[in-house]
Structure 1
Amino acid sequence: MTTFYFVRHGKTELNLGLRFQGGDIDSPLLPIGIEQAIQAGRYLSNRSFDVVAVSTQKRAMDTANYILKENNFLDGLTVQYHDSLREIKFGKREGIEINHMDEQTAHLRQRPDLYDPTTFGGETIDSLVSRSTQTIEKLSKDFPDGNVLIIAHGVLLITLINSLIGKEKAKWREGGPLANTSITILENENNQERFTIRSFNDVSYQSTSEEA
């Protein structure tokens, strides 16, 4: 059985400013985002991972570094970087303030089956889930009895997780948004198509308030 630990990156400046932060833009971790990552690392410090798979965006890679600095089982650990784990691309909307009254923004959050980013050159939900799922399936096959740590992004993770556990496309955003550095654990038995959820959006380990 492969056990996946999915972790969203720490809070960033663009998160704080409520701006679109997709696959073609980056923003530094805030001090609270760094602290969140350190606390997540301490929480996972006694968990031995067979591989760590990280998005190639800086906010995810920085989060991974803070988490792994706290881990007690780094000797021989393999860290992989995957473009396929980058956040969904928002096209011309990258970096602009989120308009919650916009129809496509509402679809993205509530009805991803209706989301159509054509007018602003964004990436489709199907593309996002397809590319990320391929990576997860390969990791499940390569590490059939392993612990796999995934560090990526909010929209990618919630849609991927809901897809992996078998929800229909209209419900791929249920339970979102995931909290920054939240931990969701899924299990996959013998590389089966369906995954089982063991823990969802866990931030019980966090002791830092948003105002800190």
Structure 2
Amino acid sequence: MKRKSIYLIRHGETDLNRRGVVQGSGVDSLLNEWGEAQAEAFFNAYQHVPFDKIYTSDLKRTHQTVRGFIRRGIPHESYSGLNEISWGDREGREPNTGDNNYYRELVNAWKAGEVNLAAEGGESPVDVRERQIPVIDTILSRPHERNILIAMHGRAMRVLLTTLFNQPLVRMDDYEHSNLCLYKINYSYDTQQFELEVSNDITHLLSIEIPQTI
């Protein structure tokens, strides 16, 4: 039986994550010190896996998250199709009541089935799914890549997971995520089906020492 194991992770923490700033595809932020520690902890926990390829979005925070593996010489490809959703004109702004209410109402509309509704100046979940599908097709067209690592973003991961498991986009929020969480998914080329093995796992982060405060 031909199988592919997909290790799907969200990028490590950025300062904008910590401050509650909405960062989509238009905000190319960097990992903060804690995010770098998360990346190192994930590398230490999974460096034994014989990854054949690393796939990331075009955004720096995903590249930084898998830097340890790239430095080992594992082939790496980045695709804009894996970028975070564009949250539109309001992304990157300091949190405020107006924007918070806007995004809350937008997500509730998606949960109610309005998945074609785009953020102002941004994308809808349907838009994200449409740009992800060619990347998924490319990945699946390479059965010789038995173990792959994909680093991407929270909302984009939710879209991707519903696509892989042939679910409607209204199920996106069934898939919880946190910074540098892991979803492990197995794909069978015989049945052409995906199987979820690990969901939103962060046990690899337990090794991080919390800085002492005086």
Describe the shift of the 1:192–1:134 C-alpha distance in structure 2 as closer, same or farther (beyond 3 A).
farther
Cα distance between partner residues in 1 of 2:172 and 2:210: 27
TM-score scaled by structure 2? 0.85
TM-score scaled by structure 1? 0.86
Residue 24 (structure 1) aligned to one of 23, 26, 29:
26
- How many residues align structurally? 203
Describe the shift of the 1:209–1:132 C-alpha distance in structure 2 as closer, same or farther (beyond 3 A).
farther
Aligned to 2:82: 85
Cα distance between partner residues in 2 of 1:13 and 1:66: 21
Aligned to 1:164: 164
Structure of higher CA gyration radius: 2
Asked whether the 8 Å contact 1:88–1:156 carries over to 2, the reply is yes
Asked whether the 8 Å contact 2:70–2:76 carries over to 1, the reply is no
Q: CA offset at residue 135 of structure 1? A: 0.7
Divergent runs of 4+, >6 A: 209-212
Matches within 5 A, 1:163-202: 163-176=163-176, 178-190=177-189, 194-202=193-201
Aligned to 1:63: 65
Secondary structure at the residue paired with 2:54?
Answer: strand
Describe the shift of the 1:112–1:190 C-alpha distance in structure 2 as closer, same or farther (beyond 3 A).
farther
Q: CA offset at residue 19 of structure 1? A: 1.3
Cα distance between partner residues in 2 of 1:163 and 1:34: 30
Q: CA offset at residue 78 of structure 1? A: 1.3
Aligned to 2:44: 42
Give identity over the alignment, percent: 22
Unmatched 5+ residue regions in structure 2? none
Post-superposition Cα deviations, 1:129-164, rounded to whole Å, max 9, x if no partner, equal 121132122111213561111011111012211221
Cα-Cα RMSD? 2.2
Post-superposition Cα deviations, 1:146-202, rounded to whole Å, max 9, x if no partner, equal 1111011111012211221122221122132x1111111111111755411111111
Cα distance between partner residues in 2 of 1:210 and 1:132: 36
Secondary structure at the residue paired with 2:76?
Answer: strand
